[in-house]
Structure 1
Amino acid sequence: MLKKMMLIIFFSVCLTGCWDKVEITQLAIAELIGVDSDPETGKFIVYYQIVNPEAVASTKSSGIKSPVYTYKVEGFNIRDLSLKTAEIMPRNLFPDHYQSEIVTERYARQGLQTFLNFFERQYNRRSDLYLFVTDSPLSDVMMTYTPLERLPGRYLRSLIELESETTGRVSKKSRIKDLMENMESSILTVLPVLSISGSKPLSTTDRYEQINANKGSFILNGGAVFRKDRMIGKLPMREMTYYYLLKGENKVLFESLVVNGREVDIQATKTKVRKRLSIGTEGVTWKVDISTNLLIMQNEQRNKLTLENMKEIKEAFNQQVDKKVTDFFESAMRKKWDFFGLEEAIKYKRGKAWESIRNQRNAWQQTKLRLSVQSKVIDIGEIDNPYQGS
């Protein structure tokens, strides 16, 4: 009996309980961060968006409360920023719940090396955070309330994930880790460009009383092209589709065709892309085979939707996608933008045929695209033939 009592006392002493527990009221839970760098002063400007747990958790309230609060700090280095943050923030900064991060275009063009190196040193870092480049004033972006999803960081995360699944113009591979993976290679990275619609931000909770959800909201406005850590250019939104299509990261594609003088809107789904780099008498060739299924969303033709007509739609789609993808590839090659890792692929090719190519400077720029687009119509909608009306 005595032996059992001693064991109980011993194990009771070993129990730590909650001696190191930190109450939520002691934490400043950050869900979005914005970073800028002033090239004239050398100062970093950082915005922390902190969650207001009371406003987020409450389902019923006598009045609307702010779901987030934004703190701004400035400093010449990480030490300055840490001290300034401690001066103005009455709680311990808790970065583990970051949803997204935003950098300004001018900072991205200077190079994000300092930011990325600091980020990598943090033991509690989340490399799966989506990284945005904004061409709107960062102060406006960080002072904007968002509709439906009241946490702006989560709003942006949802925007990326929904857009990638429904339109194919954005990829989920728009994270900090995706930029870091290409830091030591020639492969370019594309990150989403973020803008604010409207002339000014909506920075008061009056935002939640307005019906116009477009005004003062976030929109995706193209892609920021990075070589290593530095932004070198932009892609318009219309070209993002074909970039991700060639990357093999695009599962959905929308095209408006003209068939028999009338518009036909198409949604392509379950897209598959096969790529192979080879060398022959014509030099280096990048063979890309694209196959997809077509859904007819809208058909304004006067012709009946026969098998022959569906073949015309299919051929019009194949030709249009072939031209747009080829135009995009050739435009990228003229700009010397290696989106698809051709230089890296050639570097690691083995064999006598590749040896002379590897020794040539910028040989990848001579790569020719051999594109094949194949499709089939699998869904024509609820009616076989459009109504003719008058």
Structure 2
Amino acid sequence: MNDAGRVVAAVGISLCCLTGCWDRTEVNELAIAGLVGSEKDSETQEQVVYYQIINPGAFNPQTGDGSKSPLYTYKVQGPTKGELGLKSADILPRKLFTDHYQSHIVTERFAREGLGSFLNFYERQYNRRSNLFLFVTDSELSEVMMTYTPLERLPGRALRSMIDQTYKSTGRISLKSRVKDLVENMESSALTVLPLISLNGPKVISTTKRLESIQANQSNLFLTGAAVFRKDRMIGKIGLRENGYYNLLKGESESFFETITLDGKVIELLANKISGKRHLSVTNGIPVWNVEIAARLSIVNNDQESKLNWSNLSQITDKFNLQIGETAQKLYKEAIDKKWDLFGLEDKIKYKRGRAWNDLQKQKNVWTQTKLTITVKSTIIDIGEIINPYKGV
């Protein structure tokens, strides 16, 4: 065999060893889910799942696809979770692909019954994504999953962006609102707090005419609070403002927005670069949770008519520090009264070492006796563009 023949033979053998793309699946053969919703049928107790399937043709005008809807919602119902996958093949004309969906929504009723079986099933899937944001809704899930979101055309991505924007702008939602955060607290005394969403408006506009309406608030999804979970079961709700304080006390805030009043005038402040320390101690046989918070403040709005000076700035920071401390104490006391271990104190006490802690650990529910000591230190670093307010005279 000459050299040319040897080369041809070597190339042929190499080609035979290549796997190629024989099992390749084209995008137009997949039903790509962007958002998933889960509940139980109240009458039959069957599992119900809604899949929002992305329509790629709506995002590429060059394809010549005449349909304008960015997504389609399919409802799948079955007696068991495993059977839902089989039934989806009977309904969807393409292979269901859930690897890239953005968010998952469950109903309040489903959450209060307990999500244990849902989480166990989810965690067994090889393609699970534990960093998914998990939402609870107090609206009808069928209507939530039939809602078009303006500006951001994919509701799953819109909800994810809302979490990110709220976290950065007010601190009232934490980034630790994922499936994995609920799973991690399943074997812990610590509670989990997840975002609560509601549908605003009297009815759902389930056609693409919704995307052409200028009224963005109507028939849209909004963050309205937070759902509190003990292990896998929802046990209550808190408002967005209270949830901001919860995140602040836990050290999960990148920013924090608060309004104070001085002499009847409103001052709105945004805290950034928040830092702090948190530790447990024992004082006179009582556990004490010590929280220290330091923040840099920007004045967002100032309705005072007088000129800003050092004395006035000091009054602002003093009032801010006092209000943060008092409101945080109120939230903490309400949680203790409800026996909500929002801050994982039971486990923190359980793993403490020393004679004083050994005596406390023998007492039942000793964590409910824990006192909160909070110290807030703030500095104003940004007062805006003007020092003297315009008076028009």
Post-superposition offset of 1:82: 2.3
Aligned mate of 2:226, from 223, 227, 230: 223
Matching of residues 361-380 of structure 1 within 5 Å: 361-380=364-383
Aligned equivalents of 1:58, 1:278: Cα separation in 2: 64
Q: How far apart, in 1, do the equivalents of 2:49 and 2:192 lie?
A: 24
Cα distance per residue 1:76-127 (max 9 Å; x no partner): 1024322321111111101111110000000000001111111111101111
Q: Is the 8 A contact 1:64 1:205 kept in 2?
A: no
The 5-angstrom pairing of residues 340-355 of structure 1 reads 340-355=343-358
1:170 and 2:176 matched: no
Amino acid at match of 1:379: D
TM norm structure 2 = 0.96
Q: Distance in 1 between matches of 2:74 and 2:133?
A: 21
Match of 2:116? 113
State the partner residue of 2:278. 275
| TM-aligned CA deviation for residue 62 of structure 1 | 9.1
CA distance in 2, matches of 1:24, 1:251: 38
Confirm whether residue 13 of structure 1 aligns to residue 24 of structure 2: no
Work out whether 1:238 is the aligned partner of 2:225.
no
Q: Which of 164, 182, 206 is the aligned partner of 2:209?
A: 206
- Preserved contact between residue 192 and residue 342 of structure 2 (Cα < 8 Å): yes
Q: Match of 1:86? A: 89
The equivalent residue for 2:159 is 156
- Structure 1 residues 54 and 64: alpha-carbon distance in aligned structure 2, compared to 1, 3 A threshold: closer
Contact 1:326–1:369, Cα closer than 8 Å, also in 2: yes
CA spacing shift, 1:328–1:365, aligned 2, 3 Å: same
Q: What is the Cα deviation at residue 211 of structure 1?
A: 0.7
Q: Deviation of residue 45 (structure 1)?
A: 1.2
SS of residue in 1 equivalent to 2:99: helix
| Distance in 1, Cα, partners of 2:303 & 2:155 | 40
RMSD: 1.6
What are the residue-to-residue correspondences of 1:1-390 with 2, within 5 Å?
Answer: 1=3, 3-58=6-61, 65-389=68-392
- Give the distance between the partners of 1:73 and 1:261, measured in 2 at CA: 56
> Conserved in 2, the CA contact under 8 Å of 1:29 and 1:50?
yes
Displacement after TM superposition at 1:63 (Å): 6.3
Structure 2 contact 137–196 (Cα < 8 Å) conserved = yes
Q: 1:315 to 1:61 in 2, by over 3 A?
A: farther
Q: Any unmatched runs of 5+ in structure 1?
A: none
Partners of 1:156 and 1:284 in 2: how far apart?
39
Structure 2 distance, partners of 1:189, 1:124, is: 24
Matches of 1:59 and 1:319, distance apart in 2: 59
Q: Distance in 2 between matches of 1:7 and 1:356?
A: 78
Q: How many residues align?
A: 390
Q: Does the 8 Å CA contact 1:165/1:251 hold for their aligned counterparts?
A: yes
Q: Structure 2, unaligned stretches of length 5 or more?
A: none
Whether contact under 8 Å (2:296, 2:380) holds in the other structure is yes
Q: CA contact under 8 A between 1:255 and 1:265: conserved in structure 2?
A: yes
Q: Report if aligned partners of 1:246, 1:273 keep a CA contact under 8 Å in 2.
A: no
Tell me the amino acid that sits aligned with residue 303 of structure 1.
Answer: S
Q: CA shift at 1:3, angstroms?
A: 4.6
Amino acid at match of 1:196: L
Supply the distance in 2 between the matched residues of 1:21 and 1:309 (Cα, whole angstroms). 68
8 A Cα contact 2:170 2:270, kept in partner: no
- C-alpha spacing 1:144/1:355, structure 2 compared with 1 (3 Å): same
Q: Which amino acid aligns with 1:254?
A: F
The residue type paired with residue 231 of structure 2 is K
> How many angstroms does 1:287 deviate by?
0.4
How far does the alpha carbon of each residue in 1:163-210 deviate from its partner, in whole angstroms, 9 at most, with x for none? Answer: 111110001111101100000111100000010111111210001211
Check the 8 A contact 2:57/2:65 in 1, yes or no.
Answer: no
SS at the partner of 1:389? coil
Rounded Cα–Cα distance in structure 1 between residues aligned with 2:65 and 2:344: 56
Superposition TM-score, scaled by structure 1 size: 0.97
Compare 154-163 and 295-304 and name the one that shifted more: 295-304
Decide whether the 8 Å contact of 1:168 with 1:250 is kept in 2: yes
**Aligned counterparts of 2:8 and 2:292: Cα–Cα separation in 1:** 74
Identity between Structure 1 and Structure 2 (%): 53
Match of 1:96, SS state, is: coil
Following the alignment from structure 1 to structure 2, what is the Cα–Cα distance between the partners of residues 178 and 271?
22
